[in-house]
Amino acid sequence: MSFKPANNIQDLQYFGEFGGVNPSISDSSTYTFLSAKTMFDTFEGNADGCYLYSRHSTPSNLYLGEALAAMEGTETANVYASGMGAIASVILQICKGGDHIVSSRTIYGGTYAFLKNFTTNFNIETSFVDITKLESVESAITSKTRILYCESVSNPLLEVADMARLARLAKKHNLKLVVDNTFSPLSISPAKLGVDIVIHSLTKFINGSSDTVGGVVCASQEFVDDLRNVNDGAAMLLGSTMDSLRAASILKNLRTLHIRMQQHSKNAMYLAKKFEGLGLKTVYPGLASHPSHDLFKAMMNEQYGFGGMLTIDVGSLEKANELMELMQNQNLGYLAVSLGFYKTLFSAPGSSTSSEIPEDEQEEMGLSDGLIRFSIGLDADIERTFQKMKECMIKLDVLEKETA
Ligand SMILES: *Cc1c(COP(=O)(O)O)cnc(C)c1O
């Protein structure tokens, strides 16, 4: 693939108000107009380059949105106070009461809860399907379906969506294909595969320092204009607006994303191979044993690797908890939810980030009790990290001494 997302970010040249190398931060909630007529035109959406009120847009938020649109290769983008803010606004913008959604069943727990428990209050129903089985996706589509929803690499099972084929399916049935690309920024460019709307939680890899929440919707100018419409736009009216100070700091972190993703992927690949070599049940898209390894390879922008997320199954929740506590104790990472941090983070999704999913459904989708999800950090010496992790596993009899 010839799409070069990091070059697109690199090539953005923004000057600050006083010639600063970073764009100036717009520290205002409201903006003056020199003429009353321009204020009226701005409300009507007809005055380009004029700012109205910071829930609508701010210069800092537009800079960040423009950079993320460049990364994903979409016309434009709108940033939000959180990933859930972005997801909720896309779904409620497209769907009205009586509409239907077909969604992957392995998605972020908050998204799952929103579709299963919240949008149902507005008579928007969702069918959850195995996104890797195109036939079951297609057979769930009805005349009321508006959205086909999935994650490019799913949380926490790391299933990979065949976005080019899903895009053809969406086109055939006149649906919007909405993809959450939080787990694979730079590695996968969904819009280049035909996806209509690309969402990120900026909280994770893109910001990368676990100091803020944020979200973005990358899409066509027409859809983003709809989201921001003062009369019926979900972004404008639901109000999950990002603060300009945060937009400025996330934009600075975005500038180093390509280097961080390469290191996250390199370290995760190293550990995944070693864990699998020890006989641990390991899931990582970079392993040949992963059911969608070839698909990921065919879609990826190669130099960014297979991402920083991997899972192992240590048999039971008790073992998983013991191991995570010991690894934290040995300073190998934090027992914490979230991902994309410079230190390794680990959690047991069944009892935390995916606990919104009922236990029988967890079992059906292969989300076992002993599953540990790792977001691998930027460790300079990953071999040292591995040796220490192995020692923890031996100590707790997760590994037999002989195999180790
Ligand atoms: C964290 C996450 C979200 C939600 O984002 P917030 O910034 O926490 O609101 C959505 N999707 C995925 C895949 C996530 O990991």
Q: pLDDT tens across 32-52, in order?
A: 988 888 888 877 776 667 788
pLDDT of 379 reads 98
What residues does 125 pair with on adjacent strands?
Answer: 100
Is the pLDDT assigned to residue 250 strictly greater than 60?
A: yes
Q: Which atom, in ligand 1's list, is nearest to the CA of 84? A: 9
Is the pLDDT assigned to residue 391 strictly greater than 80?
A: yes
pLDDT of 169 reads 98
pLDDT of 1 reads 54
Cα-to-centroid distance, 226 and ligand 1 (Å): 23
364 vs 175 pLDDT, higher one: 175
pLDDT of 404 reads 53
Separation CA 119–CA 75 (nearest Å): 28
Nearest-CA residue for atom 1 of ligand 1 = 201
Q: Please tell me if the CB atom of residue 83 comes closer than 6 angstroms to any atom of ligand 1.
A: yes
Q: Please tell me if the CB atom of residue 106 comes closer than 6 angstroms to any atom of ligand 1.
A: no
Concatenating the DSSP letter of every residue in 50-75 gives ---BTTT--HHHHHHHHHHHHHHT-S
Tell me which DSSP letter residue 96 carries. Answer: -
> What integer is the mean pLDDT of 347-376?
83
- Tens of pLDDT, residues 252-305: 999 999 999 999 999 999 999 999 999 999 999 999 999 999 999 999 999 999
Separation CA 373–CA 215 (nearest Å): 22
Nearest by Cα to 163 from 296, 69, 73: 296
Q: Which of 80, 179, 201, 210 to mutate to test the pocket of ligand 1 (most atoms within 8 A of CB)?
A: 201
Cα-to-centroid distance, 227 and ligand 1 (Å): 19
- Tens of pLDDT, residues 47-73: 667 788 999 999 999 999 999 999 999
pLDDT of 27 reads 94
Whole-model pTM?
A: 0.95
Is the pLDDT assigned to residue 365 strictly greater than 80?
A: no
Q: Please tell me if the CB atom of residue 151 comes closer than 6 angstroms to any atom of ligand 1.
A: yes
Mean pLDDT for the chain overall: 94
Cα-to-centroid distance, 84 and ligand 1 (Å): 6
| Range in 14-28, 194-208, 354-368, 373-387 with the lowest mean pLDDT | 354-368
Nearest-CA residue for atom 6 of ligand 1 = 83
| Count of all residues that appear for the chain in the document | 404
pLDDT of 316 reads 92
Q: Please tell me if the CB atom of residue 219 comes closer than 6 angstroms to any atom of ligand 1.
A: no
Q: Are 153 and 160 in contact (CB under 8 A)?
A: yes
- Tens of pLDDT, residues 132-163: 999 999 999 999 999 999 999 998 889 999 99
Q: Strand 145-151 to strand 215-219: parallel, antiparallel, or no bridges (unpaired)? A: unpaired
Helix spans in 214-316 (H)? 221-228, 234-238, 244-254, 257-277, 293-299
HSE of 65 in the Cβ direction (CA atoms, 13 Å)? 26
Cα-to-centroid distance, 222 and ligand 1 (Å): 25
Nearest-CA residue for atom 5 of ligand 1 = 83
Cα-to-centroid distance, 34 and ligand 1 (Å): 41
Which segments within 16-108 are labelled E, that is strand? 76-80, 100-104
pLDDT band at 401 (very low <50, low <70, confident <90, very high): low
pLDDT of 47 reads 65
pLDDT of 94 reads 98
Separation CA 339–CA 205 (nearest Å): 7
pLDDT of 402 reads 59
| Range in 171-180, 262-271, 354-363 with the lowest mean pLDDT | 354-363
pLDDT band at 214 (very low <50, low <70, confident <90, very high): very high
Q: Please tell me if the CB atom of residue 82 comes closer than 6 angstroms to any atom of ligand 1.
A: yes
44 vs 121 pLDDT, higher one: 121
Cα-to-centroid distance, 315 and ligand 1 (Å): 27
Mind listing the domains of the chain with CATH numbers?
5-254 (3.40.640.10), 258-395 (3.90.1150.10)
Chain centre distance of CA 338 = 11
pLDDT of 326 reads 98
Structure tokens at 141: 């589509």
Residue with structure tokens 């049940």? Answer: 281
